[in-house]
């Protein structure tokens, strides 16, 4: 009877010790996984770049620079507005030039242009005809050039949005705390048996 009791006590003690060892191993593995997850959650410049490439402003949101998002869309909206305005004027003068030079008296869309109506060109007069023709040609070239430059600006602004998100992401974890200090103090150094006064500068970061 005594032997059975001793065996029972030893069995229960061994089982309890094994359970404690398993719990300790499980806790250690959990801590290791938590540390690995924390390392993987480092702010990613690649993600910020991809987000802004997919949707302008999304990378800024990822970087928590929310105040930049309205500025981005104001910029896109302003450039887009002037692209449309210059394109409408280009189309107006282009069609006016075509109607003036097609020899068809029934096509007179050049009269829709306010400047043409105000000056009141006489298209039957060769001098007025040539002056109007040159004016329409120059104006359509002017608006077309402005439109094309604004389209290039639109693409450049899109690229700037991506670059901004990438740079902010690289600097996201940059330490700008109070430990970034510069200390200086006068000191003296010995060189070739001579004493020289100088300034000792020390950076802490």
Q: For the residues of 122-184, what is the DSSP string, one character each?
A: -TTSHHHHHHHHHHHHHHHHHHHHHHHHHHHHHHHHHHHHHHHHHHHHHTTT---STT-EEEE
pLDDT digits (tens, 9 = 90+) for 50-105: 999 999 999 999 999 999 999 999 999 999 999 999 999 999 999 999 988 888 87
According to DSSP, residue 61 is labeled H
Q: Is there a domain that residue 122 lies in?
A: yes
Q: Which domain holds residue 100?
A: 46-171
Q: What is the pTM of this model?
A: 0.65
pLDDT digits (tens, 9 = 90+) for 121-137: 888 888 888 998 999 99
Q: Rounded CA gap, 100 and 57, in Å?
A: 46
Judge contact between 168 and 118, C-beta under 8 A: no
Q: Is there a domain that residue 2 lies in?
A: no
How many structural domains comprise the chain?
Answer: 1
């Amino acid at each position: 009877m005594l032997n059975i009791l001793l065996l029972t006590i030893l069995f229960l003690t061994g089982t309890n010790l094994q359970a404690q060892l398993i719990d300790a191993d499980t806790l250690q593995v959990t801590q290791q996984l938590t540390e690995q997850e924390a390392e993987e959650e480092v702010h990613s410049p690649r993600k910020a770049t991809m987000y802004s490439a997919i949707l302008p402003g999304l990378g800024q949101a990822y970087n928590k620079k929310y105040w930049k998002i309205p500025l981005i869309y104001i910029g896109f909206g302003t450039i887009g507005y002037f692209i449309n305005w210059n394109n409408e004027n280009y189309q107006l003068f282009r069609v006016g030039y075509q109607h003036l030079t097609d020899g068809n008296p029934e096509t007179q869309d050049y009269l829709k242009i306010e400047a043409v109506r105000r000056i009141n060109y006489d298209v039957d007069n060769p001098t007025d005809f040539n002056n109007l023709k040159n004016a329409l040609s120059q104006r359509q070239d002017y608006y077309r050039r402005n439109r094309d430059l604004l389209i290039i600006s639109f693409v450049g602004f899109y690229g700037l949005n991506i670059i901004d998100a990438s740079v902010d992401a690289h600097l996201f974890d940059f330490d700008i705390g109070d430990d970034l200090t510069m200390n200086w103090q006068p000191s003296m150094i010995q060189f070739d048996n001579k004493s020289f006064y100088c300034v000792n500068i020390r950076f802490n970061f």
